[in-house]
Amino acid sequence: MDGSVLYLAMPGITSAITPTTDQALWILDVYGFVVSSLLIAFGSLGDRYGRLRFLLTGAVVFGIGSTGAAFSPNPETLIACRALMGLGGATLLPAGLAIIGGLFPDPRQRSRAIGVFAATFAAGFAVGPVLGGLLLSRFDWGSVFLINIPVVVLFVAFAPVLLREVRTTDPGRVDALSVVLSAVGILLAVHAVKSAAAEAFSATEAITGALGVALLVWFVRRQLALEHPLLDLRLFKDRVFTVAILTGVLSLVAWAAAGYLTGVYLQSVLGHGVLTAALLVLPGAAVLTAACVGASGVVERIGKRAALIASHFFMGGGLLLLLLTTTEHGVAAFVASSVVTGVGYGFSFSLVADTAVAAVPAERAGSAASIAETSNELGNALGISLLGSLAAAVFRLTGPDVAGTLDETLAEPGLTAATVARAEDAFVDGLHAAIGVASLLCLALGVLALRWVPREEPASR
């Protein structure tokens, strides 16, 4: 809910606290970077020290970060509060999924429960823009962060009553160096790409990116040598698991990039209000919710392999419909795209989580869940940073060279009609470039899964 509202709030945030192009991207994706950097470590810590304890602690930290974000006077404070929210989110996600896996040991029940769990994300995606649109039409942009507070209060009140504490007896020691290597490596690598797109490529970005990649390589090599690694690379010997995790990354790359760019497109190019833009999201969100809940039934009928492959072609094909958008017309293409891709997203969200939890014993469910959630959060961050940066680079190269983003350009006084038209054309070109890349990646992974994932025996369905 919070993430989907933030897309709609960005034009208001840009007007109120005037972030730079780089700062605007950090506001959107720093949460994902922090979460993805810490998920694996926090999944292991939850297994060791208690998942319910981590859930409650994470909820409180998330609430504190949300309150600070709502009243941020400048971009730097907002980025810091979003990072604090990410710290809380990193404790919530793997522990929540692991508790569900422990509550439902039967594979069929677990698949259905995880489908409902995934559907709550889709429901938040549906409710968030509408509630956020109502708030933004009446209140300041900070109100979109305050909607988290009632949820946090209710959770802290009821979780100790409804959930039991779960921990494993021998999870092994958490390797602190691995935590640092993964977190710093991800931050440096992606920051280099973001900076190169926003401010042109330089030697500084090249050195930063190379250092980030080197740290990530060191992280992977260290996992192979540890007795209790943060990231169990042996799981990736299973082709279905590997394709599922890649699906988790790519589905969120596409979803995040499309959500961010189309939110700006509907408001700043087509001129729709915040609430109208939110209502246009509902058909796709409804399909996404239904697909999450129904994914387990689809798998029972056609098998996990076929459902996994189908998710990629629904996502890739649906994204292609966004290439029909123009500076004058695009609502029908947007709604059709969100409905088609919603089927693919729904299948992928459920399958990735269920595949990860089913791959390990129950006592390691938190660690396995963290791999699935890391793939999603990393995809969410990369979608905004990499594809968002691609769109920004196209805008910078083909736009009127007034400012770094469309909203900043349109806020400049005294623009001629020709300048506005050129800026809007440049943004749509950037949108098409980013969405085209996302679609090709989804379709390519679908073809890979078709050729690589072994066919299932009839008895396994």
Taking only the tens place, the pLDDT of each residue in 91-140 is: 877 777 777 777 777 878 888 888 888 888 778 877 777 787 788 878 88
Per-residue model confidence (pLDDT) at position 372: 75
Q: What is the mean pLDDT of each run of 10 residues along the chain (461 residues)?
A: 75 86 80 76 72 86 94 93 91 77 79 84 76 81 88 91 68 76 80 64 82 92 83 78 85 87 90 82 88 87 87 95 93 95 89 74 63 73 80 89 82 87 94 95 91 67 43
Per-residue model confidence (pLDDT) at position 461: 43
229-233 long-range contacts (CB < 8 A, ≥24 apart) are 229/175, 229/178, 230/40, 230/41, 230/44, 230/174, 230/175, 230/178, 230/179, 230/182, 230/367, 231/40, 231/178, 231/182, 231/371, 232/360, 232/367, 232/368, 232/371
Given 1.25.40.390, 1.10.3720.10, 3.40.50.300, 1.20.1250.20, which CATH number is that of 2-174+230-460? 1.20.1250.20
**Annotated domain spans of the chain:** 2-174+230-460
Residues 6 or more apart whose CB falls under 8 angstroms from that of 212 comprise 184, 185, 186, 187, 188, 189, 190, 191, 192
**Paired tokens of 313:** 């072609």
Tell me the C-alpha distance between 327 and 342, whole Å: 24
Q: What is the mean pLDDT of the chain?
A: 83
Per-residue model confidence (pLDDT) at position 384: 75
Per-residue model confidence (pLDDT) at position 411: 81
What one-letter code names the amino acid at 356? Answer: A
Residues 164 and 50 sit within 8 Å (Cβ to Cβ): no
Helix (DSSP H) and strand (DSSP E) numbers for the chain: 17, 0
Residues 185 and 219 sit within 8 Å (Cβ to Cβ): yes
Tell me the C-alpha distance between 246 and 261, whole Å: 23
Per-residue model confidence (pLDDT) at position 459: 45
Give the chain's largest Cα–Cα span.
69
The DSSP symbol for 147 reads T
List helix spans (H) across 104-202.
Answer: 107-136, 143-146, 148-162, 176-199
How many CA atoms lie less than 13 Å away from 39 in the CB half-sphere?
Answer: 28
Candidates 432, 77, 137; CA nearest to 274 is 137
Tell me the C-alpha distance between 129 and 281, whole Å: 8
Query: Is the pTM of the predicted complex or chain greater than 0.85?
Result: no
